[in-house]
Structure formats: structure tokens, C-alpha cells
Structure 1
């Protein structure tokens, strides 16, 4: 396997865009090569198979979605714990919109995982680690709601994100910024 980090990143970013645009059925090593703008056959030098590529795509998506530490630090200055939580969720929605392809790729991987047990296992582990990390961050920061409250907020926010990504017109009569405030007020008090 090759070890050029810049080329690997370009291939993973290409895979994310192919997943987001064409779905899991369109994700082939050849399609990734084309999206990354590299010679045909390059992806086969970096990934032994499609499953290995998907595992690395998950990690690349995590890199792309991880909030900037300065952004988190600024959010922590938002005032009350409730205001901090609202600010963090608004930042999450903004990152989702900015990294639309990453989120759509994750949705495609969720769908494919319903048909591929090995991917389901890996994706479940990936999301468990992320959820536990979010719970720990929330609790360590002294934000309201406790462990179960964070899980309920996660589920509600995921619904908001999925609709914002896939059927944004549904939310047009509703202000997502205000919906975030409502979710925090109702779910964490």
C-alpha cells in the first residue's frame, strides 16, 4: 500500500464526494480516482478493497467535521450553560451545512450498513465513540441535561440535520435557529 498522505487525503475526499453525490452504488475505486483527479488505478494502490476504503472514509469525515478548538472555546464563552449549549448546536448546524458532502456520505454509509453487517459493526462502533465523546464533553463542561439528556438532544438534533440536508424546504416555515433553542429548553430542563 502507498503512503503519500496528500494523495490518500485526496482519494478519501473524492470518495466522500462520490458517496454524497452518487450514493454507495456509485462508489467504485475507479469513480474515486476520477473524482480525485488521479490516474486510473491509483485508489487500488491505497486501499485493499472497498471495505477498507469505507473505514478510512469514516475517519476522514471525522477529521472534516471536528470543530475548530477556537470555535469551541468561543462557544464556551456564550454565557449561561443553556446559552453555551444553544451556541454549540448552532455551530454544529453551520458545520453541517458547510460540510454537506460529509454528512450526506455518512447517511449513505448508514443505509449501506443496513445491508452489510461488517459495515454495520464498524459504523456502529464509529458512532458509539462519537456519541460517548459528545456526552463526556457535555458533562465535563457542566452543561445541563445529564447523560440521557445529551442522548435525547443528539437524536433530536440528528433529525433536524437530516431534514436540513435532505428536505430543507420542509424547514422553511420554521427557523432552525429557534428550533435549536426550543430543543435545548424542552429537552434539557
Structure 2
């Protein structure tokens, strides 16, 4: 889990087995909006200076790899005009946002994306909480991006309901995105979403 996040004691965290995930390159013209691209900066590693990465925590942005344009900004109030970006991304960010704000962030992403634009969305898939003494669901992750392998981990506050592919897809479709591709492997998920 990244440094700006509170590190609770291990006894309140439920760790699952480490997973591997490969982030493939994808076509994109113009600037790419990356939500929560601080920390490991996976999309910045993949797409470099084409990326405008936002994170509410400046410390996270300074830790991430050089290349992308870094802006301290809250995903619920994106400071960009309507229809600025043809491509958006989010890599394992929404678990740090909190489920009460997921709809607002998806709505803001949709607002700043161009019609016909695509959002590439990767995140953790967590079942409904089944261990009452555990407050966090933690996925150790080995990320393969370009020629790099990054060992990290992502944790979310563990809820009484599943935070999974169906959960994120339903919210995205509710705010007006169309799902054009979806995949779930172990405790990771991917959605490719289209703005009509």
C-alpha cells in the first residue's frame, strides 16, 4: 500500500495470494487523463508524457516515475473543461477513494471525456466481508508494464458488499458509460468503457 495511506496493523488486514497482472499498451491520441496516478505511476510508465496524472496527494505524485504531467487534484472535482480527453485510465485507485464517492468520480470522468472516448479501468475485486475482525482487504500485486516488473500491493476498506466487476460496471453504466470489454481474474478486474 502506498505511503500516504494509513498503515493499519497487520492483524486487521486480510491478505490474499499475490497476483500477476500485465498492463498492455493501448492506442490513444492526445492527452490521457489518469485518475490516481501517484505512487507506482503504472500508466505514466506505459504512456509517458502523453499522460496527465491526477492525485489528491502531492507526495504520491512526487514518488511516481518521471514522464507524465502531474497535477494535484481531487477526482470528485476535476478542474478540466468538458470533453477534454479522448482517453482516460484508472489503475487500482478506486479502493482509496471510498465507495461513497465512486459514482461522483465516474460522473466527473465522463464529463471531461470526449464523446466516443474510452476509459481503461483496472482495480481490485473483493468479496463481501466474511471475516468480522478484518477491516482491510489487501492484494499483493506484481505488475508487468513495458519492460518493468513492479512488486506492490493495494488495499481497500473491506465492505459488507462485494466491490467487484459487477459493482464497478453498474456504477459506470449508471452514469452513462457503455461497457465494451470486461475481464476478472482472481482479485483483479478490467473494464473498457465507452462514452457515447
- Fold match, TM over 0.5? no
| Structure whose CA Rg is larger | 1
Q: How does the TM-score come out when normalised to structure 1?
A: 0.29
Q: How does the TM-score come out when normalised to structure 2?
A: 0.28
Q: Which has the higher helix share?
A: 1
